[in-house]
């Protein structure tokens, strides 16, 4: 690994690292915030998955999460949103290809050669983080929009791996909305049955663990009705008896202004579970 950024922040250190990913077959970057407590011993880890068009930079420069992580003694890890580089398949649209990995394992050409963001987030990245930083075995996961979809799916598919999960403005039913349908058709093919493995509203019904879900959604979000549809997750959780706290926030949109306003609540939610 090569460290390419290092900044003092909120009493700790914000770093960005580059490494060669065997899972994705390309160079990847991820951000890691080490709170002041990490200089004294091991700390729990909160993973953050960003949304469409984002890199690891959006969260670390706009969310203001570091001061909350420093307060609670959490390491923050934010990967990029997709594989990148020469030879990695791409698309002219912002919602497919580089910057839009959707946290799935692609099965279709040309995407299958590199687009295995699920395996990267669940296996390769945590192994790398645990090997190089002072982490405990306690992990939480969160994210925004496409990354909110990723956080919910990753947690629901891996009972026992994460102690906490939350999301901002998640794409809760990607199999039923344009963003998800476009990505799933390209990455996973035409078999809609295969899409169910990557749809939080489908996964809730068969979840083997009742990990409480915390979701914040802005009521002024321009994508609320067309792409996000949190009521679908609410209905799925009610039918399955799965704990969900869905908070609809009046006046807030889809931006990092929204995330920065409530990220402290989410970090505290994760800290409570990660320190048990």
166 is catalytic: no
When divided into structural domains, the chain yields a total of: 1
Q: Could you read off the pLDDT of 259-269 as tens digits, one per residue?
A: 999 999 999 99
Segments forming the whole domain that contains residue 120 = 2-274
* pLDDT average, residue stretch 48-64: 98
**Local confidence band at 22 (pLDDT 50, 70, 90 cut-offs):** very high
Q: Could you read off the pLDDT of 242-253 as tens digits, one per residue?
A: 999 999 999 999
164 is catalytic: no
**Local confidence band at 162 (pLDDT 50, 70, 90 cut-offs):** very high
* pLDDT average, residue stretch 150-158: 98
pLDDT at 96 over 80: yes
pLDDT at 276 over 80: no
Proportion of the chain in helix, strand, coil states, percent, rounded to 5: 40, 25, 35
* pLDDT average, residue stretch 5-34: 98
Please pick, among 254, 266, 269, 270, the residue that the annotation labels catalytic: 254
Please pick, among 21, 82, 142, 145, the residue that the annotation labels catalytic: 145
DSSP string, 41-80: S-EEEEEEE--TT--HHHHHHHS--HHHHHHHT-EEEEE-
pLDDT score of 65: 98
Measured in Å, how far apart are the chain's first and last C-alpha atoms? 32
Residue 218 pairs with which residues in a beta bridge?
Answer: 249
* pLDDT average, residue stretch 151-164: 97
Please pick, among 80, 199, 216, 221, the residue that the annotation labels catalytic: 221
88: domain CATH number is: 3.40.50.1820
* pLDDT average, residue stretch 46-51: 98
Q: Could you read off the pLDDT of 104-153 as tens digits, one per residue?
A: 999 999 999 999 999 999 999 999 999 999 999 999 999 999 999 999 99
pLDDT score of 266: 98
pTM over 0.85: yes
What are 196's two structure tokens? 């169910």
pLDDT score of 82: 98
Helix boundaries (H) for the chain = 56-62, 66-72, 117-119, 125-132, 146-157, 178-188, 192-195, 200-203, 230-240, 256-274
What are 258's two structure tokens? 């929204």
221 is catalytic: yes
Average pLDDT, the chain: 97
**Local confidence band at 192 (pLDDT 50, 70, 90 cut-offs):** confident
């Amino acid at each position: 690994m090569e460290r390419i950024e290092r900044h003092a922040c909120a009493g700790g250190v914000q770093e960005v690292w580059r490494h060669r990913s065997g899972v994705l077959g390309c160079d990847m970057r991820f951000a890691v915030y080490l709170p002041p407590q990490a200089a004294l011993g091991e700390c729990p880890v909160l993973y953050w998955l960003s949304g469409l068009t984002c890199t690891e930079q959006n969260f670390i420069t706009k969310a203001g999460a570091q001061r909350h992580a420093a307060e609670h003694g959490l390491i923050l890890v934010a990967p990029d949103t997709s594989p990148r580089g020469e030879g990695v398949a791409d698309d002219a649209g912002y919602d497919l290809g580089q910057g839009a990995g959707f946290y799935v394992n692609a099965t279709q050409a040309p995407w299958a050669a590199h687009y295995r963001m699920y395996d990267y987030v669940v296996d390769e990245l945590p192994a790398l983080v645990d090997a190089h930083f002072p982490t405990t075995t306690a992990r939480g996961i969160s994210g925004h929009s496409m990354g909110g979809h990723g956080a919910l799916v990753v947690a629901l598919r891996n009972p026992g791996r994460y102690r906490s999960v939350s999301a901002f403005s998640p794409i809760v039913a990607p199999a039923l909305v344009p963003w998800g349908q476009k990505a799933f058709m390209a990455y996973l093919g035409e078999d809609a049955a295969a899409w169910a493995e990557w749809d939080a509203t489908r996964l809730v019904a068969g979840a083997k663990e009742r990990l409480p879900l915390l979701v914040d959604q802005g009521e002024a979000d321009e994508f609320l009705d067309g792409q996000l549809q949190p009521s679908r997750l609410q209905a799925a959780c009610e039918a399955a008896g799965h704990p969900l706290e869905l908070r609809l926030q009046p006046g807030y949109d889809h931006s990092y202004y929204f995330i920065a306003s409530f990220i402290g609540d989410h970090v505290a939610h994760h800290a409570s579970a990660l320190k048990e």
